[in-house]
């Protein structure tokens, strides 16, 4: 049966992508999906070769035909997103593509145009297949692109007869995060012992609890603040969430990154050993028993 694991963090910069890349090199038969589409960085370590590319279209955007326009200004008044300027110029970043302006223009001067927002790729890396995407600057990723990358990933998994998908999820708690965890078997949260790390962990746990997805936590850079680390451990315990591992502050992730390697490829010591142990725990843990967290 196909199993899916999503790695998320709430707050950015906790080491989520580093860990996803490490898992990629530990998994024997897995597919990786980079759903951190806003700031996709996995490719910098995995160096994928694309086998196929698909354009991703976002919402359409409005466009004024100046030959037909009588400059009445009604479109500008009715646009609720402030996308039409005084001189009737449409700001494509601000336009949400609702179509109201085209609907009310008395001269029929506005058409809605297709708008390419990014590209979706299927690729091969040294660790197996990768589903990923690149988003244009200033484009809204939202849940739609994340869902498309995941759909691609499932199709590829079927094609390559792979039964495990590891998803690098987006930061935050918004709709793209929800799209990246819906229906998965396990959520792996990477956090750090700081006031903001704890705060964001609480917000993310609320979401995984709401969706009843089994969740485990890893505390990165735990020795920067051991007191806060104990607080996180206690908090997780009270919520019935297992802390599967703690990683110390280390130069290894940065050094590995500078050589475009995963930490597993770079390091053979205790640091990567801890990641190996975590990986073993999460692929063997029983996900049939959904979250037993108690909010």
Where are the extended beta strands (E) located within the chain? 3-8, 31-34, 49-57, 61-64, 110-113, 116-125, 128-135, 164-168, 186-191, 215-219, 242-246
Candidate residues 60, 107, 233, 242; the one interacting with another protein per rule CB under 8 A: 60
The span from the CA of 274 to the CA of 278, in Å, is 6
- Contact at 8 Å (CB) between 21 and 37? no
Q: Which of the listed partners (ligand SF4, another protein, none) does 75 bind, with a CB threshold of 5 to 8 Å by partner kind?
A: ligand SF4
List contacts with ligand SF4 (CB under 6 A). Answer: 62, 64, 69-75, 79, 81, 83-84, 88, 90, 95-101, 105, 107, 109-110
Q: Which of the listed partners (ligand SF4, another protein, none) does 219 bind, with a CB threshold of 5 to 8 Å by partner kind?
A: none
Pairing of strands 31-34, 110-113: unpaired
Q: What angle do CA 63, 117, 203 make, to 5 degrees?
A: 120
The span from the CA of 105 to the CA of 111, in Å, is 10
Residue 228 vs residues 93, 125, 190: alpha-carbon distances, Å: 41, 38, 15
Site string for another protein, 156-185 (x = CB under 8 A): ---------------xxxxx--x-------
Candidate residues 2, 72, 159, 249; the one interacting with another protein per rule CB under 8 A: 249
Site string for another protein, 251-290 (x = CB under 8 A): x--x--xx-x------------------------------
- Using DSSP's 3-state secondary structure scheme, residue 164 falls into strand
Q: Which residues bind another protein (CB under 8 A)?
A: 10-14, 17, 38-39, 41, 44, 59-60, 78, 80-82, 93-94, 96-100, 103-104, 135, 137-143, 171-175, 178, 192-197, 199-200, 203, 206-207, 210, 221, 224-225, 228, 249, 251, 254, 257-258, 260
């Amino acid at each position: 049966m196909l199993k899916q694991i999503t790695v998320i963090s709430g707050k950015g910069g906790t080491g989520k992508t580093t860990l996803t890349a490490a898992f990629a090199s530990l998994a024997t038969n897995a597919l990786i999906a980079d759903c951190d589409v806003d700031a996709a960085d996995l490719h910098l370590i995995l160096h994928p070769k694309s086998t196929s590319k698909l354009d991703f279209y976002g919402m359409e955007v409005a466009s004024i035909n100046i030959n037909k326009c009588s400059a009445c200004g009604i479109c500008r008044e009715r646009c609720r997103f402030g996308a039409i300027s005084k001189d009737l110029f449409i700001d494509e970043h601000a336009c949400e593509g609702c179509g109201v302006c085209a609907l009310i223009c008395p001269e029929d001067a506005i058409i809605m145009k297709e708008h390419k927002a990014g590209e979706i790729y299927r690729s091969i890396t040294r660790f197996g297949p990768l589903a990923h995407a690149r988003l244009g600057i200033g484009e809204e990723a939202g849940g739609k692109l994340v869902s498309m990358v995941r759909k691609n990933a499932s199709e590829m998994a079927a094609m390559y007869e792979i039964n495990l998908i590891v998803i690098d999820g987006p930061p935050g708690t918004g709709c793209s995060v929800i799209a990246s965890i819906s229906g998965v078997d396990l959520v792996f949260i990477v956090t750090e012992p700081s006031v903001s790390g704890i705060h964001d962990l609480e917000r993310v746990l609320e979401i995984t609890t709401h969706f009843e997805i089994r969740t485990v936590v890893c505390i990165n850079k735990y020795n920067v603040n051991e007191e806060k680390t104990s607080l996180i451990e206690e908090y997780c315990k009270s919520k019935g969430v297992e802390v599967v591992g703690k990683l110390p502050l280390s130069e290894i992730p940065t050094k590995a990154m500078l050589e475009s390697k995963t930490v597993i490829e770079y390091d053979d010591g205790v640091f990567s050993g801890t990641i190996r142990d975590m990986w073993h725990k999460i692929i063997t843990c029983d996900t049939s028993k959904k979250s037993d967290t108690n909010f």
